[in-house]
Structure 1
Amino acid sequence: MRTLLSLSSALAIASAHGALAQSDEFYPLGTILFTSGSGNEVGIDSEDLDRTDPADLQDVFKNEPTISVGSSLPVSQKIYVNGVEENNLAVTVDGARQNNKIFHHNATTLIDPELLKQVRVDPGVAPADAGPGALAGAIAFETKDVDDLLEAGRSFGGIVSGEYQSNGDIFTNSLSVFGRQGAFEALGYLKYAEGGTREDGNGDEIIGSGTGLLSGLAKFAYQGETGHRFELSYESVHDDEARPYRADIGRLVGGRPVPDTRTYDLRRQNLVFTYTDEAPTGWWDPKFSLAYSVTDLLLPEADQESRGSTDSISGVFQNRFPVAYGSVTAGADFYVETAETDYRYLPDSSFDEAASEEARNVGIFAQARLDVTQSARLSFGGRVDFQEFEGTDGTTYTNQGLSGNISGEYDLTEAITVSAGVSRVWGGVVLAENFIMNPAWVYPGDSIEPVSADNLFLAADASFGRFDFRGKVFRTNINDARVPSYGGGPDATSDVEAQGFELGATYNWQNGFFRVGYANIDSEIDGTQADSYTGRYLTTPIGELITVEIAHKLSDMDLMVGVDAQIALEKEETYNFGDPTVPLPAYEVVNAFVEYTPRAVPNFTIRGEINNIFDEVYADRATYGQEFRDDGLTPLYEPGRNIAIRGTFTF
């Protein structure tokens, strides 16, 4: 900690002194200014993504203390928002609903951050138009468009990029081309990354940490003179590489004998058609989208082969109506989702198994967003959902439920804003994970209990000149969360409670900012301290996390420099099936970067990074199984020191 504070303080003091020497006034630069969203929303925009240049989901959220991403491998990373796993949030990519709960050892949402334009997170309390199943909030990923890349006045352009990382000898190359001709526009992107096994801070190899990633994005759009816009997009991310046999665990001693690694062939695809009116008039401000998303996993082994596939056909039609003091968004949405598994035992086909579940849902919603007075803003809405669920044996359930939310902000003074929100969400019967489905399951005669959730938050934000402060308390209760198991049946449920608080402070100056965040998150399952095994698809032990970020632009030298750190305090309150608890260890990770864009060649940028500068040996706090280290489990450790060089050329 002392090293981090010395390094950050020195950079902050030097940067602030340089900025103040130039001017006593505050003129924020768009690529450097940090502004935290007020109230409940967490927004990561294109400027944040450009600055952090994320390589995976951990990097995307690394400066948000209430959002954790477990695992050092993208193929097994899972997102936790306020301590709750992402399957309990409404997750969309370009508006397409995601149904990715395929295997508990691999990732839920495999995504290439280089594709992203922005990410919006509504922790806990989410609006009704965020979609069905927003039990603990919503996450909306949005990929880049032609407008985000093409320079004004040009009809064609492109970006070529290459990167080398020293830890694992990883080479990454990407190419983007985009253009606009009249009312038509198109974008194409392709990326390929390959590399060897990485090493942790001790210099030990991280099993199954090789790189083998192929991703792409294609978009085509037509926008007429009257504003009618039609867009078709296709996105694909494919990871095919030898991974730890259980891809979210380094090694497990005991149990049935298995090899150290096996191939995880994981692919997620997303196809979306969207219609909007970019020049709305009067009461007509529509959005219509129709999407298909699918995730496929193949696990080939010497004597067996396991396949899983989850898909979602979803759509939404909504219109934004102007009303006094604001607007009301109302409409309808639907999804048809399937989860399938297919197991083949090659020596004896009598052991083969196949099973599937399906859910269909139609929802009607409305959400009002009003500026009640100059000092008060109010958002409230509700939705009703009608769901039909079909089990592996053909058992069918029909259920319906209501959801509602209300949140608001009030400016106590010009500098201080307070906000609060509550929601009650009905989620229906969620699909089971593919790889634990059992074709012999016997479903109850009436229905599996539909899941529901209650959320609340209280927050305050203050801004005094260059200083911004914020604080928030939050709680999520999920009732009757479905926790089926292969041998235990399809209808088991658990109750989850996650609660905590966060604090943050930011200091902005002319050419940069310094910010620090702190979160303290605790979760329970059925009244008992949560552990990562019982909490699969629900929650995981988080505890106390601190994030630090500083960035400064040296305009005279055409440089931008930055330092960030992620700090976890030891968490002693863990649960290990009645045995003495094993504390989750503390760690401190520091990263730094420098980026150079010469004014003589403004279309070329070179960036250098040193990640995990001090070779910390650690597993991210949200990584699976750390409380079971005394039981023979080795968690997936993060890479040790890594030097990365990246060059980007725009044409």
Structure 2
Amino acid sequence: MTMARFVALCGVSYAAFASAGFAQDAFELDMITVSLVDEGQENVEATGGALISEEELEALQPQNVSELFARESAVTVSGGAGPSKRIHVFGMEQSNLAVTVDGVPQGGTSWHHTGSNVVDPAFLKSVEVEAGAAAADAGFAAAAGAVRYETVSAFDLLAEGEVAGGRVNLTYGDNGQGLSGSLASFGVYGAVDWMVMIHAQDGDNYKAGNGEEMPGTEPAAKGILSKFGYEFGTSRLELAYERSEDDADRVIKMNMDLNHDDTVYPLDVTRDTISLKYTSTAPTDLWDPEVMIYATQNDYWRPNYVVGGRNGDMVLDDDAIGGVVKNTFTLDAGTITAGLDFAQTDYSIDNYGDVANTPRLQKLTTKQIGAFAQGRFAFASGIDLSTGLRADYHRLEDMDGQTFNDAGLSANATVSYEIVPGLEVFAGGSRTWLGYDIGEFGLMHARDYDFDADYKAGSATNFKLGFNGSLGDFSGGITYFDTKIKDLANYDSSNDEVNNSGEVRSKGVTLNGQYNWGSGRLGASYTKADVTEDGDFVIPDGGTVMPVSDVATLYVDQELPAANMTLGATVEWAGKLDDDLMESAGYEAHASYTVVNAYAEWQPPQIEGAKVRLGVDNLFDETYYERSSYVYREISATRTVYPAYASGRTVSLSLTLDF
């Protein structure tokens, strides 16, 4: 679909929903904030980032990360089965950002045929994407920004005046979506609070819009999230544990359809996180601490594939322990957060001895310690400033006994000025030291790699400039961005060496706008990103840096209080992706596509706490594959990569009951 048809569809959607709702009650939205610094924190949307709030999660009810980011043009997701989906921000894969779940750092992607989703969407309360220049306290190696996932707690789920409760959700969908459900218990008893939630999916392979069944795509995610808090005096301790698992038969390369081979093999992908956090329940201007220790474990088990050859059996594992100690000081003009963080990560690659001349078991270790300070200030003159500095030490012990040590500084600053009330101009930049990048260490299962003796630490620079503003019920902004990363890990198969890559770069513009008419809202976003490596177009090979071109989204939500209903829709559009380098490497152009998703939610007045939701994804049964996916490629006369097409039209019905 052309951009002109997309714009026309936007107008039709607005007219249909707005005409139904001008006389309705107020739509419950977060207050629109134009300032760079709001209540001591960055407003990520004001500088080109993205925020998925509780209200948006309620509207989206995402079953996977593609649906989670459906309204964010700055974020693209590759296609395939659930565990193969990779998240890209302006074309930079999530491993290039500092990713946390409830403040716990998450490791990078282990292998390019598996995904980068780090949390079950069923557990989420909100998501923040800080694109480009990230704050010093966002975490180590925030090359292209930061992604912060926050999960729900007992206090989010408890109704006012209640001390205990529960929630159950059941969803059934056709086209392979099958049955999914979650069950939660939460409450407060004296000084103790708790929340335990379980979630599971069970379905079949889906069919694309053209009717083709995509093998190995059955939903199979399951997980548990638990949090236990205890308050004593002016202190609070919270113990949290989260586990997610996807155990199903998958095609060997989940992010593509290789030679139309529909053979599937057992694959088990698991992630475990445990953390203990201390905070104060009576913070002061000088004492507002947070102390956290954590441990994470990520496993990728592929135990029963073909014996022998470079695609043989393997097990990948990375385990981390770490912590953070920080305090926030409140001043008249803002806040300063200062502290320390540290982590040790152990990597293990087991190829079951299937690949000749490759060690059966290989192990690596990295160690990091850093100190940081970030100030966030809102001055009466209309100037807001967020600026910080961090210093890090990093050590890499590779599988052959080589040791690499280095230290570096990172700095960031973003300043905004309110030209007139409601209109703000901003500029920001950062230089980030990344330490030694491990990259896709799973590649070691196929070859006996050695690290280059002159292997260097990576670095990144970011720059952004733009405007944002609000006028009455309208808010919007435009951001120019430019991100450069160099000296990432390059697994060079020509000489079996891990050396430093060149410079990858993403530059472009992103726009967003939203209008709230009381009982509803209409929003849209557009991103154009040119992604290059050493100045050349990046080919769409499913890697950690992917081309984007033009992407846009439109969404609308409308309450109908008289009917106890909410209606909504999301439109996703991507322009044609093509380049001479793609053609010369055997790739076809990635065709433009438009996908429409719609939902209706009803709260039956006879049943307190109940919600019934009807959803239709890919309403017009579009045959497409998502931007950031591996594109159709003819490698040789006997080897062709077909894209992993997205699901065709899928109708789902869900029931949620709070009790």
When the two structures are superposed, what TM-score results if normalisation uses the length of structure 2? Answer: 0.92
**Following TM superposition, by how much is the alpha carbon of 1:588 offset from its aligned partner in structure 2, in angstroms?**
0.7
**Following TM superposition, by how much is the alpha carbon of 1:39 offset from its aligned partner in structure 2, in angstroms?**
2.3
| Equivalent residue for 2:612, pick from 606, 614, 638 | 606
Number of residue pairs the alignment of both structures matches? 639
Which residue in the other structure is 1:548 paired with? Answer: 554
Is 1:399 matched up with 2:398?
no
Is 1:429 matched up with 2:436?
yes
* Per-residue Cα deviation, 1:344-399 (whole angstroms, up to 9, x for no partner): 147x9987611121110110100011112251110100100011111110100110
**Following TM superposition, by how much is the alpha carbon of 1:177 offset from its aligned partner in structure 2, in angstroms?**
0.6
Which residue in the other structure is 1:13 paired with? Answer: 15
Is 1:323 matched up with 2:331?
yes
Give the secondary structure class of the aligned counterpart of 1:37.
Answer: helix
Contact 1:39 1:409 survives alignment (8 Å): no
Contact 1:356 1:437 survives alignment (8 Å): no
**Following TM superposition, by how much is the alpha carbon of 1:553 offset from its aligned partner in structure 2, in angstroms?**
0.2
Q: Distance in 1 between matches of 2:32 and 2:650?
A: 27
Contact 2:269 2:301 survives alignment (8 Å): yes
**Following TM superposition, by how much is the alpha carbon of 1:145 offset from its aligned partner in structure 2, in angstroms?**
0.6
Q: Distance in 1 between matches of 2:351 and 2:164?
A: 48
CA spacing shift, 1:88–1:28, aligned 2, 3 Å: same
Which residue in the other structure is 1:643 paired with? Answer: 651
CA spacing shift, 1:100–1:296, aligned 2, 3 Å: farther
Q: Summarize the alignment of residues 407-556 of structure 1 with structure 2, pairs less than 5 Å apart.
A: 407-437=414-444, 440-445=448-453, 447-485=454-492, 487-533=495-541, 536-537=543-544, 539-556=545-562
* Per-residue Cα deviation, 1:57-88 (whole angstroms, up to 9, x for no partner): 11111111111111132211111111111111
Which residue in the other structure is 1:290 paired with? Answer: 293
Which residue in the other structure is 1:93 paired with? Answer: 101
Task: Please identify, of 365-374 and 325-334, the stretch whose mean Cα deviation from structure 2 is larger.
Answer: 365-374
**Following TM superposition, by how much is the alpha carbon of 1:628 offset from its aligned partner in structure 2, in angstroms?**
5.4
Q: Distance in 2 between matches of 1:18 and 1:493?
A: 54
Q: Distance in 2 between matches of 1:34 and 1:404?
A: 26
Contact 1:370 1:377 survives alignment (8 Å): yes
Which residue in the other structure is 1:616 paired with? Answer: 622
CA spacing shift, 1:580–1:216, aligned 2, 3 Å: closer
Percent identical pairs in the alignment equals 29
Is 1:625 matched up with 2:627?
no
Q: Distance in 2 between matches of 1:111 and 1:97?
A: 12
**Following TM superposition, by how much is the alpha carbon of 1:611 offset from its aligned partner in structure 2, in angstroms?**
0.7
Which residue in the other structure is 1:227 paired with? Answer: 234
Q: Summarize the alignment of residues 176-325 of structure 1 with structure 2, pairs less than 5 Å apart.
A: 176-224=184-232, 226-252=233-259, 260-301=263-304, 303-304=306-307, 305-325=313-333
Opposite residue 483 of structure 1, the aligned amino acid is N
Give the secondary structure class of the aligned counterpart of 1:436.
Answer: helix
Contact 1:574 1:583 survives alignment (8 Å): no
Which residue in the other structure is 1:567 paired with? Answer: 573
Q: Distance in 1 between matches of 2:362 and 2:190?
A: 50
CA spacing shift, 1:551–1:481, aligned 2, 3 Å: same
What is the CA RMSD across the aligned residues, in angstroms? 2.3
User: Gaps (5+ residues) in structure 1?
Assistant: none
* Per-residue Cα deviation, 1:134-192 (whole angstroms, up to 9, x for no partner): 01111111111110001122121000111101111511121001111001011111111
Q: Distance in 1 between matches of 2:426 and 2:415?
A: 5
Q: Distance in 1 between matches of 2:359 and 2:462?
A: 43
**Following TM superposition, by how much is the alpha carbon of 1:276 offset from its aligned partner in structure 2, in angstroms?**
0.8
Opposite residue 587 of structure 1, the aligned amino acid is Y
User: Gaps (5+ residues) in structure 2?
Assistant: 35-43, 308-312
Give the secondary structure class of the aligned counterpart of 2:286.
Answer: coil
Contact 1:81 1:123 survives alignment (8 Å): yes
**Following TM superposition, by how much is the alpha carbon of 1:126 offset from its aligned partner in structure 2, in angstroms?**
0.3
**Following TM superposition, by how much is the alpha carbon of 1:303 offset from its aligned partner in structure 2, in angstroms?**
4.9
Contact 1:563 1:593 survives alignment (8 Å): yes
Give the secondary structure class of the aligned counterpart of 1:510.
Answer: coil
When the two structures are superposed, what TM-score results if normalisation uses the length of structure 1? Answer: 0.93
Give the secondary structure class of the aligned counterpart of 2:46.
Answer: coil
Is 1:354 matched up with 2:361?
yes
**Following TM superposition, by how much is the alpha carbon of 1:212 offset from its aligned partner in structure 2, in angstroms?**
1.6
| Equivalent residue for 1:151, pick from 150, 155, 159 | 159
Q: Distance in 1 between matches of 2:112 and 2:155?
A: 38
CA spacing shift, 1:271–1:150, aligned 2, 3 Å: same
Q: Distance in 2 between matches of 1:629 and 1:33?
A: 50
Q: Summarize the alignment of residues 120-159 of structure 1 with structure 2, pairs less than 5 Å apart.
A: 120-159=128-167
**Following TM superposition, by how much is the alpha carbon of 1:577 offset from its aligned partner in structure 2, in angstroms?**
7.7
Give the secondary structure class of the aligned counterpart of 1:38.
Answer: helix
Which residue in the other structure is 1:594 paired with? Answer: 600
Opposite residue 184 of structure 1, the aligned amino acid is V
Contact 1:436 1:485 survives alignment (8 Å): no
